[in-house]
Homo-oligomer: A and B are copies of this chain.
Amino acid sequence: MNGSGPLAGIRVVDFSGYIAGPFCTQMLGDMGADVIKVEPPAGEQWRGQDPFAPGFSKSFVALNRNKRSIVLDLKSENGRGVARALIASADVMVHNYRPGVPERLGIDYSAMRELNPKLIYASNSAYGQKGPRAHQAGYDLVIQAVSGLIASNPTPDGRAPRRYAGIALIDFTAGQMLAFGVLSAFIQRLRTGIGQKVESTLIEAALSLQRQKLVSVEALDGQCPQPAKGTVRERMRTAASHANDLVERELYYRTYETSDGYVTIGCLNVPQRKHFMSIVGLDDPWFENPDALPQTDDEDRRRRALTSYAESEFTKKSTTDWVKAFEDCGVPCAPVQMSADLMFDEQVEAGGYFVGFTMPEFGRVRTMGSGVSINGRPEGHRPPPELGQHTQEILDELAALPAAATSADGDRRT
Q: Chain B's nearest CB lies how many Å from the CB of A106?
A: 22
Residues of B within 8 A of A210 (CB): 167, 339, 368
The stretch of A77-85, A215-223, A293-301, A390-398 in contact with B is: A215-223
Contact B334 A191 (CB under 8 A): no
Residues of B within 8 A of A309 (CB): none
Per-position 1/0 for A210-250, Cβ under 8 A of B = 11111111111001011110011101100000000001001
Interface-centre pick from A208, A220, A341, A359 (highest chain B CB count, 10 A): A208
CA distance A173 to B344 in the complex (A): 23
Contact B372 A334 (CB under 8 A): no
Contact B216 A366 (CB under 8 A): yes
CA distance A165 to B213 in the complex (A): 14
Residues of B within 8 A of A138 (CB): 266, 332, 334
The stretch of A66-74, A199-207, A280-288, A401-409 in contact with B is: A199-207
Interface residues on A, range: 35 or more
Per-position 1/0 for A138-172, Cβ under 8 A of B = 11111111111111110000011111111111001
Any B CB within 8 A of the CB of A61: yes
- With CB as the reference atom, state the residue of chain B lying closest to A24: B180
Any B CB within 8 A of the CB of A63: yes
Residues of B within 8 A of A165 (CB): 149, 152-153, 164-165
Contact B254 A163 (CB under 8 A): yes
Contact B368 A207 (CB under 8 A): yes
Q: Chain B's nearest CB lies how many Å from the CB of A309?
A: 16
Residues of B within 8 A of A197 (CB): 373-375
Residues of B within 8 A of A160 (CB): 255, 257, 262, 264, 336
CA distance A216 to B342 in the complex (A): 12
A33-87 CB contacts (< 8 Å) to partner B = 50, 52, 58-59, 61-63
Residues of B within 8 A of A365 (CB): 215-218
Residues of B within 8 A of A215 (CB): 58, 61-62, 365-368
Residues of B within 8 A of A385 (CB): none
Any B CB within 8 A of the CB of A379: no
CA distance A261 to B185 in the complex (A): 42
CA distance A370 to B336 in the complex (A): 33
Q: Report if A213-B180 is in contact (Cβ < 8 Å); known contacts: A162-B255, A227-B341.
A: no
- With CB as the reference atom, state the residue of chain B lying closest to A219: B362
Residues of B within 8 A of A133 (CB): 347
Any B CB within 8 A of the CB of A104: no
